[in-house]
Chain A
Amino acid sequence: MKVRRAKDFIIKLISTLVTLLIAVPLLWIIFDVVIKGASALSLEFITSLPAPFGETGGGIGNAIIGTLIINTMACIIGLPLGIATGIYLSEYSNGSRISALLRTAIDTLSGIPSIILGLFAFSIIVIRVGHYTALAAAFALSIIMIPVVSKATEEGMKTVSIDIREGAIALGLPKWIITTKIVLGIAKSSVITSSLLAFARISGETAPLLFTSLFSYYWPRGINEPMASLQVLIYNYAMSGFESWVVKAWGASLLLLLLVLSINILVRRFSTKVV
């Protein structure tokens, strides 16, 4: 009996330690990003363009705007496709071949490493257009969003009970109105939270941007051109080894982390309220 209790105690000890330990990287990373990034922050940092190489000063204003522009374009492509396919699979699929194929496509796409999506966008857009372009980046990021939003939409709509659907049918409403105004209306919160999480997710994705939007040292002039982004800036500047650039990379990391973590925390608050 003593042996059994001892075993139990040891396991308890180990699991407690491990759990406490796992908080260490999180706190350490956040701490580091905040401390090292804060020293780079200033109004100039947020609003100006990068200074020429070798000079100090300058900022990351173009990268901030670039990330927002690219993300927005990705949402414009990805959200409608994600929601539409989610509605299709939930309400209009009836075991057809298209829906089986669609499901396979979505499941597979969700597991593909994002760098490969970048290669794909490069192959079909950058090559064709002849130069690096933010459009290709938005396309690659949208492919990441689609499975996330589609699955959440489908799941949210499937939970709507048959009683409610029949109540709507008995009123003589056409199917498309029942689907969009009632079933989707009830599933609304799933759609919104998954869209927000997808937005946060693509904000953190760098690999797909490496060979699509590439980078730029100027303000964005158009969407069919290379564009700066926070993620690529962090990568380039951190790898450069040039000290004032590394500091800026930390500053950009702070902004990016704030964006991503605040969306995640917001979503958690929102969904616990709803539930």
Chain B
Amino acid sequence: MNYKSNSFFEKLFKSTLKIAALIVIGIFILLFYSLVERSIPSLSQNGLEILLGTSWDPNFEIFGGAPAILGTLFSSAIALVFALPISLCIAIFYTEYGPVRLRPFISGVMDLLAAIPSVIYGIWGLWTLSPILKINFQEPIIASIGFIPLFSGPAYGLSIFLASLILTIMITPIISSISIDIFSKTPMPLREGMFALGATKWEVIKNVVFPFAKRGVFAATILGLGRALGETMAVTMVIGNSYIWPFKSISLFSSASTITSKIASEFPESVVNIIHNSSLISLALVLLLISISINFVAEIISKKSAGRLNV
């Protein structure tokens, strides 16, 4: 609707909205600008060390971020690898196999899991889950197959394994809620046609629902990945915050760091050292670039497949 009105209030209202829009745009631009600006000291002094270096020692101004970057990527990837099948199971139970009466409960559980603050996942991971897993899971495994480097000891209670596990729990609600949504939208005629041919539920799921939902589930996964990459508190509290993994020990049970845990644990003390502080901000910039590139690539992929399907 665009009819002209000269009233004072109309102009005032429109201007107020415009100012709000400009403020938000300004915040957006300022954010990138300030991150880049404050990364410059570290980048100009140490260059690509932030990406490639494997040691981190503020006292000697060595700031290699590779273990933290790898920690972020690895823990998020593992979380995704487990969360996706779990979410799909939940989604097909919700839409196909489970009783309709259970649906509100399932979505209720998903909503509540998603609502739990990250720091509470953290304290639970740190003080409840970690001791239990250390004794009942890590130690037996190390005892039995610990000769494989991936599972070797010692059993740090706080480890990249635990971080990945907690991340899995945290991102499952997102991926499953969206998957449930998309599965529910599978056109009835398609499903019923398949059933009419005598197909089992699984066959309908495999041949009708999954292909239909492919793009949406992909988008949900990217969303979950984004969440995992940026997750801070829960990860910081259970990962141990050291550089043991992966270069000193490849074991999943060793303590590690992620970009976010590094920043969270060291930022306050870094304010006295410009290069230290700037290096942490460079790490943040790396994280930002990683998530933006993933979103960018995801958009390209989904646009491409949309074109091919002519949907």
Contact = CB atoms under 8 A, between A and B. Distances in A.
A225 B24 CA distance: 25
Interface string B194-231: 00000011110100000000000000000000100111
Nearest to A111: B226
Interface stretch (B60-68, B123-131, B149-157, B248-256): B123-131
Interface string B77-111: 00000000010011011100110000000101101
Given A7-B202, A8-B202, A25-B169, A112 B230 contact: yes
Nearest to B263: A115
Nearest to B105: A23
A206 B14 contact: no
A143 B27 CA distance: 8
Interface in A161-190: 165, 169, 174-176, 179-180
B10 A174 contact: yes
A84 B90 contact: no
Interface string A1-42: 000110110011011101100110110110011000000000
A141 interface: no
B2 A256 contact: no
Label chain B's interface by main secondary structure: helix
Contact of B112 (A176, A238, A264): A264
Contacts of A234: 119-120, 122-123
B272 interface: no
Contact of B291 (A4, A111, A211): A111
B3 A253 contact: no
Contacts of A81: 20, 23-24
A81 B26 CA distance: 12
Interface stretch (B31-39, B44-52, B140-148): B31-39
Q: Which among B10, B31, B231 has the greatest number of chain A C-beta atoms within 10 A?
A: B31
Interface residues of B, number: 80
A165 B109 contact: no
Interface string A68-79: 000000000000
27 contacts: A8-B200, A15-B89, A26-B112, A28-B124, A32-B124, A84-B20, A98-B21, A99-B21, A101-B25, A105-B27, A105-B29, A112-B230, A113-B288, A114-B232, A115-B264, A120-B35, A123-B34, A169-B1, A169-B3, A174-B5, A175-B5, A176-B10, A204-B116, A211-B268, A235-B237, A260-B115, A264-B115
Interface of B: 1-3, 5, 7, 9-10, 13-14, 16-18, 20-25, 27-31, 34-35, 38, 86, 89-90, 92-94, 97-98, 106, 108-109, 111-113, 115-124, 126-128, 169, 172, 176, 200-203, 205, 226, 229-233, 237, 260, 263-264, 267-268, 281, 284, 287-288, 291-292, 295
Given A18-B93, A115-B264, 14 more contacts: A4-B203, A8-B200, A32-B128, A88-B18, A98-B21, A102-B21, A104-B28, A111-B226, A115-B284, A117-B31, A119-B284, A150-B24, A175-B1, A206-B117
